[in-house]
Chain A
Amino acid sequence: MTTAREDVVAIDDLSVAFATDAGTIAAVQGVSLSVAAGEVLAVVGESGSGKTVTARSILGLLPETATTRGAVLLRSRDGAEQHDVVTLSRRQLGEVRGRDAAMVFQEPSTALNPVYPVGWQIAEGLRAHGRISRKEARARAIDVLRRVGIPDPEERVDHYPHQFSGGQKQRIVIAQALVLDPGVIIADEPTTALDVTVQAEILDLLRRCRDEFGAAIVLITHNMGVVADLADRVAVMYQGRVVEQADVRTLFSAPREPYTQQLLASVPRLGEGRARAEERASRRPAGWTDAAPVVEARDLRIVYPGRLRRPDFVAVDGVSFAIRPGEVLGLVGESGSGKTTIGRAIAGLTKVTGGSLQVLGAEMNGVREKAFRPVRRRIGFVFQDPASSFNPLLTIAEAVAEPLVVNDRADDPRAARGRVDELLEAVQLPRSFGDRFPHELSGGQRQRASLARSLALDPELLIADEPTSALDVSVQARVLELFAELQRELGFACLFISHDLAVVDLLADRIAVLHRGRLVEEGTGAEVLGAPGHPYTQRLLASLPVPDPEEQARRRATWQALAQVEGVLPAS
Chain B
Amino acid sequence: MATSVTAPPEDAPRTDPSRRGWRRLPVVHQLRQSVGLQRGMLVAGLMLTGLFLLTALFAPLLAPYGHAQLRDADGPFGAQQPPSAEHWLGTTVGGYDVLSRVVHGSRTAILVILVAIVLSLFAGVLLGLVSGYFGGWLDRVLVVVCDAVYAFPSLLLAIVMAIVISGGQSSLFGGILAAAISITVVFIPQYFRVVRAETVRIKNEAFVESARVVGAGHWRIMTRHVLRNATRTLPLILTLNASEAILTLAGLGFLGFGIEPTAAAEWGYDLNAALSDVTSGIWWTSIFPGLAIVLVVLGLTLVGESLNDLADPRLRSRRAAGSADTAETPVVPGGALDAGPGGLDGIEETHR
Please give me the residue from chain A that is nearest to B33 by CB atom: A21
A453: chain B residues within 8 A (beta carbon): 210, 214
For A407, the chain B residues whose CB sits under 8 A away are 214-215
- The answer to whether A381 touches B321 (Cβ under 8 A) is no
Within 8 A of B (CB), among A285-310: none
Contact A22/B225 with A377-B215, A388-B207, A430-B10 known, Cβ cut-off 8 Å: no
CB pairs A–B below 8 angstroms (7 shown): A25-B331, A27-B336, A65-B321, A67-B320, A389-B209, A435-B14, A442-B5
Partner-binding segment picked from A43-51, A119-127, A419-427, A485-493: A43-51
- Note all chain B residues with C-beta closer than 8 A to A383: 206, 209-210
Q: Mark B312-329, 1 if CB is under 8 A from A, else 0.
A: 000010111111011111
Asked whether A444 is an interface residue with its Cβ less than 8 Å from the other chain, the reply is yes
Determine whether A339 belongs to the interface, using a CB cutoff of 8 Å to chain B: no
State whether A17 touches B350 (Cβ < 8 A). no
CB within 8 Å for A388 and B205 given contacts A383-B210, A445-B7, A474-B2:
yes
B225 touches A106 (CB 8 A): no
Contact B207 A391 (CB under 8 A): yes
CA separation between A136 and B348, bound complex, in Å? 47
Whether the pair B333, A23 counts as a contact (CB closer than 8 A) is no
CB distance from B135 to the nearest CB of A (A): 14
Q: Is the CB of A389 within 8 A of B329?
A: no
Q: Give CA–CA (A385, B333) in the complex, Å.
A: 14
Within 8 A of A (CB), among B297-352: 316, 318-323, 325-339, 347-352
Q: Is residue B160 contacting chain A, with contact meaning CB distance below 8 A? A: no
> Within 8 Å of chain B (Cβ to Cβ): is A98?
no
Contact of B321 among A47, A51, A66, A373 (CB under 8 A): A66
Residue-wise interface mask of A (37-56) relative to B, using a CB-CB cutoff of 8 A (1 in contact, 0 not): 00000000011111111001
Interface residues of A in 444-502 (CB under 8 A from B): 444-445, 450, 453, 456-457, 472, 474-475
CA–CA, A348 and B215, complex, Å: 10
Bound CA span A376–B216, Å: 10
Q: Which residues of B contact A67 (CB under 8 A)?
A: 320-321, 323
CB pair A406–B216 under 8 Å, yes or no, is yes
**Contact partners of B319 in chain A: CB under 8 A:** 19, 24
Q: Which residues of B contact A457 (CB under 8 A)?
A: 214
Interface residue from B220, B325, B351 paired with A21 (Cβ < 8 Å): B351
We find that the number of chain A residues with CB closer than 8 angstroms to chain B is 72
Interface residues of B (CB under 8 A from A): 1-3, 5-8, 10, 14, 33, 205-207, 209-217, 220, 224-225, 228-229, 316, 318-323, 325-339, 347-352
Q: Does A18 contact B (CB under 8 A)?
A: yes
A570 to B24, CA, bound (A): 61
Q: What would 18 more interface pairs be, CB under 8 Å, given A21-B351, A445-B7?
A: A21-B350, A27-B330, A27-B337, A46-B2, A46-B5, A48-B332, A63-B337, A65-B336, A347-B213, A389-B206, A389-B209, A390-B210, A392-B207, A392-B349, A406-B214, A443-B333, A456-B214, A475-B2
State the Cβ distance, A411 to closest chain B Cβ, in Å: 14
Q: How far is the CA of A83 from the CA of B12 in the complex (A)?
A: 44
Chain B contacts for A377, CB-based, 8 A: 214-215
Smallest beta-carbon distance A398→chain B, Å: 9
Do residues B331 and A406 form an inter-chain contact, with CB atoms below 8 A? Answer: no
Known A22-B350, A26-B328, A443-B6: A47·B210 in contact at CB below 8 Å: no
> By the criterion CB–CB under 8 Å, are B329 and A19 in contact?
no
User: Is A108 among interface residues, defined by CB-CB distance under 8 A?
Assistant: no
Contact across chains for B215 and A403 when beta carbons are under 8 A apart: yes
Write out the residue numbers on chain B whose beta carbons fall within 8 Å of the beta carbon of A384. 206
Given the complex, which residues of A lie within 8 Å of B321, measured CB to CB? 17-19, 24, 65-67
A224 to chain B, nearest CB (A): 14
User: A20 contacts which of B5, B14, B216, B318 (Cβ < 8 Å)?
Assistant: B318
Contacts of B332 on A, CB cut-off 8 Å?
18, 20, 25, 27, 48
Are A376 and B330 touching (Cβ within 8 A)? no
Scan A370-390; emit 1 where CB is below 8 A from any B CB, else 0. Answer: 000100110101011100111
CB distance from A448 to the nearest CB of B (A): 10
Q: Which residue of A lies closest to B220 (CB)?
A: A406
Asked if A402 is at the interface of the complex by the 8 Å CB criterion, the answer is: yes
Q: How far is the CB of A545 from chain B (nearest CB, A)?
A: 22
CB distance from A378 to the nearest CB of B (A): 10
* Contact yes or no, A106 B339, CB < 8 A: yes
A385 and B225 CA atoms in complex are apart in Å by 17
Whether A444 lies near B351 (C-beta < 8 A) is no
Kindly state the separation between the CA atoms of A75 and B3 in the bound complex, as whole angstroms: 38
A50 touches B349 (CB 8 A): no
Query: Cα distance A261–B337 when bound, in Å?
Result: 27
Check A21–B330 contact: CB distance below 8 A: no
A20 touching B213 in the complex, CB below 8 Å, given contacts A46-B5, A48-B335, A65-B318: no
Residue of A nearest to B221 (CB): A406
A406/B351 in contact, CB under 8 A: no
Given contacts A18-B321, A406-B220, contact A48 B334 (CB under 8 A): yes
In the bound complex, what is the Cα–Cα distance between A432 and B9 (angstroms)? 12
Partner of A17, one of B205, B213, B326, B339: B326
Please tell me if the beta carbons of A52 and B3 are within 8 angstroms of each other in the complex: no
A19 near B318 (CB under 8 angstroms)?
A: yes
Contact indicator B333/A22 (Cβ below 8 Å): no
- Please indicate the chain B residues that have their CB under 8 angstroms from the CB of A440 in the complex: 7-8
| Beta-carbon contact of A20 and B347 below 8 Å | yes
A436 to B12, CA, bound (A): 12
For A445, list chain B residues within 8 Å (CB): 3, 7
CB distance from A190 to the nearest CB of B (A): 14
Per a CB cutoff under 8 Å, which of A56, A394, A430, A443 touches B337? A56
Q: Which residues of B contact A435 (CB under 8 A)?
A: 14
**A58 CB to nearest B CB, Å:** 13
C-alpha spacing A433/B3, complex, angstroms: 14
A388 in contact with B214 given A17-B321, A47-B335 (CB within 8 Å): no
Please give the distance in Å from B213's CB to the nearest CB on chain A.
4
Q: Least Cβ distance of B274 to chain A in Å? A: 48
Q: Which residues of B sit under 8 angstroms from A569, Cβ to Cβ?
A: none
Question: Which of A25, A46, A51, A52 is in CB contact (< 8 Å) with B326?
Answer: A25
State whether B225 touches A391 (Cβ < 8 A): yes
A432 nearest CB across to chain B (Å): 7
How far, in whole Å, are A27 and B215 apart by their CA atoms in the complex?
A: 42
CB A306 to nearest CB in B, in angstroms, measures: 19
- The CA of A348 and the CA of B214, in the complex, are separated in Å by 11
Whole-angstrom distance between the alpha carbons of A27 and B328 in the complex?
A: 9
- Interface assignment of A107: CB less than 8 Å from any CB of chain B: yes
Most-contacted residue by chain A among B2, B207, B339 (CB, 10 A): B2
Q: 8 nearest interchain CB pairs?
A: A403-B214, A442-B6, A439-B349, A389-B206, A21-B351, A19-B321, A442-B7, A67-B321
A22-B350, A26-B327 are contacts. A52–B337 as well, Cβ < 8 Å?
yes
Report the separation of the CA atoms of residues A402 and B209 in the bound assembly, to the nearest whole angstrom: 13
Q: Which of B5, B225, B337 contacts A239 (CB 8 A)?
A: B5
Would you call A24 and B8 a contact (CB within 8 A)? no
Please name all residues of chain B whose beta carbon is closer than 8 Å to the beta carbon of A472 when the two chains form the complex: 2
Q: Does A571 contact B (CB under 8 A)?
A: no
Task: Look across to chain B and name the residue whose beta carbon is closest to the beta carbon of A18.
Answer: B336
Q: Which residue on chain B has the smallest CB distance to residue A45?
A: B335
The residues of B that contact A399 with a CB separation of less than 8 Å are 207
Q: A63 vs B327: C-alpha distance in the bound complex, in angstroms?
A: 19
A203 at the binding interface (Cβ < 8 Å): no
Q: Within 8 Å CB of A62, what residues of B?
A: 337
Residue-wise, chain A 121-140 has the 8 Å CB interface mask toward B (1 for contact) of 00000000000000000000
A441 within 8 A of B: yes
Q: Determine the chain A residues whose CB is within 8 A of the CB of B322 once the complex forms.
A: 24
Name the CB-closest residue of A to B333: A48
Output the residue of B5, B335, B339 with the most chain A CB within 10 A.
Answer: B335
Evaluate contact between B335 and A49: CB separation under 8 angstroms: yes
B210:A389 contact, CB within 8 angstroms: yes
Contacts of B7 in A (CB 8 A): 440-442, 445
Closest residue on chain A to residue B352 by CB atoms: A439
User: Nearest Cβ distance between residue A507 and chain B, in whole angstroms?
Assistant: 20
Q: How far is the CB of A429 from chain B (nearest CB, A)?
A: 9
